[in-house]
Chain A
Amino acid sequence: MRRQVLMLTLLSAAAGANLSAADLTPHVTAIKAVGAEGAGNEAAGAAVRELSKEPASSLPALLAAFDGASPHAANYLRGAVEAIADRAAAQKQALPLKDIEAFVLDRARDPRARRLGYELLLNVDADVEGRIIPGMLLDPSPDFRRDAVERFVKAAKETPEANKSEAVALWKQALSGATDADQVKSIATELKKLGEKVDLVGHFGFLTQWKIVGPFDNRGLIGFAKSYPPEEKLDFAAKYEGQTGEVAWSDVKTEDEFGLLDIAKAVSPYKGAVMYLAADFVSDKDRAVEFRLGTPNAWKVWLNGEPLFGRDEYHRGMAIDQYRVKVALRQGPNQILIKLCQNEQTEDWAQRYQLQFRVCESSGIAVAPVVAARDINRTTVTVQAGGAE
């Protein structure tokens, strides 16, 4: 609480706001207290009503209050910001533009609040895009990066053919900030046309080498809930009684540039089956990352023996970053285990048995292992440089 008061006081002072931090803090605290299943909704709604009465000068402080807010609380805060901004527009009140812009440019602030502040500026300042967005290419906010990438793409497209090296440099710059699949694909296509090699596996942080074992039985959909031996202990020398006889771990690797591992093609088009995949990820430090999966199959994932999440859904589509799982990696080796289940549907569209898996920051920027291309049974490893392309 003390910290929040101090933060708001400093911000209000910096912003030249009329109100004191104490005016905002009880309401912000009530909003940040919203919990699961509607807990705290009445207090948060009442707080929004009170905050919505604040003058436009309170906007920088209110945007600052997004720091540390849950997604749910951020939506309440947004409701107050929008109400204040609407009233200011209707009453032709000036917004504290300089302070909002300073807030937007502060990368340490909440990305949602920064983007909201930027959109407030856009409504009244036609030049803000050209002033701010070019510097956002490596911003933590995916929305800012997307806009910045678009500007570099436009510049690259407008570069005369004779200036190939300039075009290549612009395309590479665009790629450096891109994490949305549509942008990455189109930029990679252009770079390839210009004779450049593009490492999309490294760019996204896809894991492409796995140990795999199976099939185990999933006929009648019994396999998702059933715990087979790899869930109890990972022993890559072990052999197990599988669905069709004895099964053992083997290596599987995909060369797909988007990291798509096609079990139906690379191993076998099993039906009513469970396969386990394991990989090691060596982290340079303790860090929060996201596992992002794409699969049309039911799945579960464990990290260092701890179950993280599972989803019992088949053939409802597949996309890059279809699922996001927040995880805490520890420094050194981290063991990832995936259970991938195929059902027995016979339709043409229900035959895919695939996985796409990457490790990235919450911003979508890849997190590379300090050790890549490592066979998890080996004692010697190949060390590569870390960091995203």
Chain B
Amino acid sequence: MKTLTLSLRNGLRRLFPAVCGVLIPLTLTGGDWRQFRGTDISGVSTEAPVPSKWNVKDGENVAWVAELPGRGLSSPIIVGDKVLLTASSGYRQDRLQTLCFDRKTGAKLWERTVWATGRTMCHEKMCVATPTPASDGQRVFSFYSSNDVVCLDLDGNLLWTRGLTSDFPNASNSLGMSSSPVVVDETLVVQVENDADSFATGLDVKTGRSRWKKTRPKRANWTSPVILTEESGRTLALLQSSAGMEAVDPMTGETAWEFTNGASTIPSSVVSGQSVFVPSNGLTVLKSGSEKKPEVLWSDNRLAPGTASPIIVSNKVFILNRAGVVNCADALTGSALWKLRLTGPHSATPIGAGSLLVFINEDGKAQVVDTAKPEGEIVGESDFGETILATPSVADGELFVRSDGHLWKIAAKK
């Protein structure tokens, strides 16, 4: 099992930008993909290329497919030899499942269910299992639209649970909640932001108790936090909202700096090196500093993402806009490079594997774009034949994709 400790990863992250002086995707090797858009939340794996084409009917490049017992817009996560994901089922969507599959064979290893303690009403396109779970390598933290947090060990033993809506009854959104939590060292950072009782909290991964809880802008927010490790070594959790971006100490919740020019409440930010790409006024790139306000490196209102979040590959930023057009720009300057129209609509954020970007639209059609080509080029198209809204996951050249009914592992035969 190729795993690195988080502290080693952090150390490497701190080292690389300082040595190279350029934007470097923060993805590290290790074969895991431990939270939404990967362990480092870059959405990129540099370990090995994924197949550009596959066929779920004849099995070409399909390592296995597993049946799922419930709906889900959450991504699978990969921890060692296990694939974990969440689902929700029942007429009231009040059965909240965490599922664990054998990464090699697709066999279901275990399944755990809790009853929702918070509200389960969602927009019909969403479901209660929309946030992606997170793992620190020893535990998995499943989070749901009902604001239930369930901590299990990797063998499925229940360690603790929290019901954040039962604790704070007005913390809910009748359209559903989607923010995926992130693990930063010993803290699970959770955004529970809505029109009525909006907050973020840092939960002790060992007990589930709040290290801190802070009031957040009172407006519905579906974005997920990201992690920034500054050159100084300070690690910050970045909380996006309609108001902008707030960088907090994950252990204390203390605010380090704020960006107050507003931001989107659907696509999330992405961090590359010391730069934070925020869906704000199109796209705004921030650089953290010693001041209470970050430096704005550049901003371009033509680079507004749709639902999918931005992604950085090889010093290029890729934005999938509402019209289904991929805009490629220089990540250092914002200069436009090329555009490529895809078949949409898309809810899932693309993920990167080497120079490839994998886009999957809501009809289940995957389009693989080679970003190394001068104008970008679709090098493979495949059809899952089912609605897919969840962002895929990738590690070690293995692509994991889920619908409401199935989980696929796409990988070339080794």
Chain A residues within CB distance 8 Å of chain B: 36-39, 41-42, 44-45, 48-49, 52, 71-72, 74-76, 78-80, 82-83, 86, 112, 142-143, 146, 180, 182, 309-314, 316-319, 322-323
Contacts and interface: CB of A to CB of B under 8 A. Distances in A.
Given A75-B114, A75-B158, A112-B115, 12 more contacts: A37-B162, A37-B210, A38-B209, A39-B209, A41-B209, A71-B166, A83-B156, A142-B92, A310-B170, A313-B173, A316-B173, A317-B123
Contact of B121 (A45, A309, A312, A317): A317
A180 B174 contact: no
B208 interface: yes
27 contacts: A38-B209, A39-B209, A42-B160, A42-B206, A45-B158, A71-B117, A72-B117, A72-B161, A74-B115, A75-B161, A78-B113, A79-B158, A82-B113, A82-B156, A83-B156, A86-B110, A86-B156, A112-B115, A143-B90, A309-B169, A311-B196, A316-B173, A316-B174, A317-B123, A318-B174, A319-B121, A319-B174
| Majority SS at the chain A contact face | helix
A320 B253 CA distance: 38
Contacts of A79: 112, 114, 157-158
B163 interface: yes
Interface residues of B, number: 40
B196 A38 contact: no
B194 interface: yes
A41 B113 CA distance: 18
A182 B169 CA distance: 27
Given A75-B117, A83-B157, A309-B169, A317 B91 contact: no
Interface string B58-81: 000000000000000000000000
Contacts of B166: 36, 71-72
A376 to B, nearest CB: 29
B105 interface: no
| Majority SS at the chain B contact face | loop
Interface in B118-166: 119, 121, 123, 150, 156-163, 166
B186 interface: no
Given A38-B160, A38-B208, A48-B157, A75 B115 contact: yes
B102 interface: no
Contacts of B150: 75
A49 B157 contact: yes
B375 interface: no
A45 B195 contact: no
A41 B160 contact: yes
A75 B161 CA distance: 8
A316 B175 contact: yes
B174 A72 contact: no
A39 B195 CA distance: 27
A112 B116 CA distance: 12
Contacts of A143: 90-91
B94 to A, nearest CB: 9
A74 B162 CA distance: 12
Contacts of A52: 157
A319 B92 CA distance: 12
B209 A316 contact: no
Given A48-B157, A72-B161, A316-B175, A311 B112 contact: no
Contact of B115 (A48, A78, A319): A78
A103 B156 CA distance: 26
Nearest to B213: A37
Contacts of A80: 158
A41 B114 contact: no
A317 B207 contact: no
Interface string B186-228: 0000000011100000010011111000000010100000000
Given A72-B166, A313-B195, A41 B110 contact: no
